[in-house]
Structure 1
Amino acid sequence: MSKVAVVRVEDTPVSVHEAFELAGGLSLCVKEASSVLVKPNACLAIEKPGVMTTCEVVQAVVKEVKALEAEPVVGESAIHGTSTKEALEKSGIAEMCRKENVQLIDFDLCERKGVTIQYGDKTLSTYVARPVLECDAVISVPVMKTHAQTGVTLSLKNMKGCFPGDEKKKFHRWHLDKAIAGINALIKPCYAVIDGRVAMEGLGPIAGEPVDMNVLVCSPDLVAADTVARILMGFSREEVSHIELASNLGLGVSDIHSIEVVGEPLKSVMREFKKPWIEAASFENITVVDGDACSGCVTECMNYLLQNKEKLMSLGSVTVVLGPKGVKNLKDTGGKVLAFGNCVKNLDTDFIVEGCPPLGYEIGNVLQV
């Protein structure tokens, strides 16, 4: 039976230590003199709570690794089209690494290694940041939040940030949920520490709303940790398929009846998160057709549309299509059609915003509003 610790955060370093101890101890996978990758979620240089893992939790994990006389390194690759360096600086993680004298690796700039992601009989050739494979252990330290494509983004999906730059786009074109499972089968992270101090609900991973949860979820079984977190967030198994797919590969336990939850009772910290589906966004005159777009396009597009609802009302009916499968999903709505991003730039539409990803404000420039 897998063990998952759920801990309320009062003092972050104390709570992280307690979470590791309740879950069985970090020494289960971190040995003396070993190199340990601490992988946060620093996806975008934006000062918005709930978007990135807090530097306090990352620092506490780094110190736990040091306490075992191992060598921590921190690494990340942000959303394609954005600066990982800026994201790490904005989050405070870069400054923390300087204070702790810990190596910080920008996975967009380091050496890459060719690998094959596999799920069943499907394979995908791609490149991963070489240091990820060279470390003796990997700890996933995501923030707890919703995601428009995968329902939630937690410790399993966080591993996608080990792949540099535009390599991430391949997973969306292939099969994102199967890719997440395959990525974890390749990297084999050994511990999850899910930062739920400030989580995100609604249109995550960027355009959602911060939620003060003040909780940590910790386990050496990432599938079990994500299972507990998705239940805590009010998501069903069917709404988060990559957790089940990872379990099917033997990467962990997704049956809550086979998971021992220690620390806080799950019911005492549960909350029904607002769902992240793009269809839930309320627009009177705009229809968004998501063809499995990457986080970069979804973030830029939805942020602009949500912030400029009233201004866009003057345009009448508009359909915005994005993602590699957008053409297939597009239906005749009778109004104007705007193609957003290079995946749909060859579509015969009224307006095109090119880029990978484009900047959201370019929608306004193209539509002249």
Structure 2
Amino acid sequence: MLLKKRSRVSKKVFCYSQVKSRIEAKPESTEQIDRGRQSEPLDADSGAYSLKEDENASNSAKGSSNSAKESSYSIRRGQDTRKCVFEAIEELGGIGRFVKKNDKVLVKVNICGGVPDKKGTFTSIEVADALADLILSAEGEPIFSDADMIWVKFWPAARDEGYVDWAEKKGVKLVNLSETEIVNFDFGPDSALGIEKVSKELIEADVIISVPAMKTHLLTGVTLAMKNMYGTFPDIDKAKFHKMGIEETILAVNSAFTPNLVIIDGSVGGEAVEPLSATPVNFQTIIASNDVVMADSVASRLMGYDPMEIVHIKMAQETGLGSASSDSIVEIRTHLPPEETDSKFGDKDSKWGEKDGNWDCPDPKIKDFYEWAVELILMFPGWATIFNLGADFLFY
């Protein structure tokens, strides 16, 4: 098996200018937007491949949909997760803003970072299914993916979570990035990574979409769209990334392979110490954005964090990767539905939105201590192996 994996590692070294999703990430034409928005309405129940036109979508989005460079986000809430995904993307300008005909669309879902019998620890099939229909409606080729970890292997996890059966019935590709052709990528002299192995699928994708489950995290505070991209590394040796600096690694992979679109699955989230100790949160929220930093910032605020408390978000803001500043993100509560009493959102006496800003989040100081402790022990010989054996359960 080791020899087989080594045979897939190319000696070629790729760089930023060769990442297709970066080359393609330019302001889209009106024709491209319209192609994704002006067909017949998409039936949320039937899954028919078409999109709903909404002339007011670009006006109601948090930013203009006429420029790929201007950050915007959308929040949709409700019991119908599929409908929320459709509406959130439509508010950004429609799937045609992001996917063109024949585009190879790499969708990074959270499979290996979850526990099959715990909702909220992995990306839900409902969100994946809705996104697949939207991509197919734009005549793109969706490829749903994740990568092995030392304990959690892709295929068993994908099977237990329902992804294998779903992909076969849907007729879409499901890919273990650890089994694809592996190449070297130059993250640059100022990066914590230098030259590191990545899947060639990341380089060849025309569009990259990050679709994480909405969760808190012991070491990084949150695990959202940015950290979801950390999961694309095909190497199961995660200890080395903690030695390099986990926050710096998250920044580096997102700087190189910046998602063109983000869908954060908060239909059911996970709070407290995830994943094994995660407590499901029936949050019924979908967040969409063309800016990975903004998406994570919005989700962090809804959890109860100041985004500037999350190190990789703060670093991303400071380096210009995306927008996390309070000036660029309008008050989130003005875009949320008013609180209402409705039994379909949980207990009949509870109010929708009562968890907003009130998730059980790891204390930033405790988080920073654990991160410091991990980096310290990894300096000693032999501890990397011990860390790898437990990291999948404790920290991913």
TM-score tier after normalising by the smaller chain length: 0.7 to 0.9
2:220 to 127, 141, 150: 150
Q: Which residue pairs with 2:108 in the alignment? A: 39
Q: Which residue pairs with 1:271 in the alignment? A: 357
User: Using the alignment, how far apart are the partners of 1:360 and 1:225 within structure 2?
Assistant: 25
Q: Which residue pairs with 1:26 in the alignment? A: 95
Q: Which amino acid aligns with 2:139?
A: E
| Superposition RMSD in Å | 2.9
User: Using the alignment, how far apart are the partners of 2:315 and 2:86 within structure 1?
Assistant: 30
Residues 1:4 and 2:73 aligned together = yes
1:109 to 166, 173, 179: 179
1:256 to 326, 332, 338: 326
1:325 to 364, 368, 376: 376
User: Using the alignment, how far apart are the partners of 1:182 and 1:25 within structure 2?
Assistant: 29
Cα 1:234–1:118 change in 2 (3 A) is: farther
1:121-200 equivalent positions in 2, closer than 5 A:
122-200=192-270
Residues 73, 105 of structure 1: 8 Å contact kept: yes
1:273-288 equivalent positions in 2, closer than 5 A:
273-276=359-362
Q: Which residue pairs with 1:348 in the alignment? A: none
Deviation at 1:256, TM superposition (A): 3.1
Deviations 1:187-225 (A, max 9, x none): 121011000011111112432211110100111111111
Residues 1:237 and 2:314 aligned together = no
Q: Which amino acid aligns with 2:91?
A: L
Q: Which residue pairs with 1:69 in the alignment? A: 139
Deviations 1:329-351 (A, max 9, x none): xxxxxxxxxx9x95267xxxxxx
Percent of aligned pairs sharing the same letter: 29
Q: Which residue pairs with 2:156 in the alignment? A: 86
Residues 119, 181 of structure 1: 8 Å contact kept: no
Residues 1:204 and 2:290 aligned together = no
Deviations 1:28-85 (A, max 9, x none): 2211111101111112453111110111101111111001111111110143332111
User: Using the alignment, how far apart are the partners of 2:95 and 2:392 within structure 1?
Assistant: 42
Deviation at 1:280, TM superposition (A): 6.8
Match of 1:7, SS state, is: strand
Match of 1:194, SS state, is: strand
Deviations 1:223-275 (A, max 9, x none): 11111100000012342111121222322110133135699428864231112
Tell me the TM-score normalised to structure 2 length: 0.70
Tell me the TM-score normalised to structure 1 length: 0.75
2:296 to 213, 226, 246: 226
Residues 101, 139 of structure 2: 8 Å contact kept: yes
Structure 1: stretches of 5+ with no match in the other structure:
282-288, 293-321, 329-338, 346-353, 362-369
Match of 2:149, SS state, is: coil
Residues paired across the two proteins, number: 306
2:123 to 36, 40, 53: 53
Q: Which residue pairs with 2:47 in the alignment? A: none
Structure 2: stretches of 5+ with no match in the other structure:
1-62, 64-70, 340-352
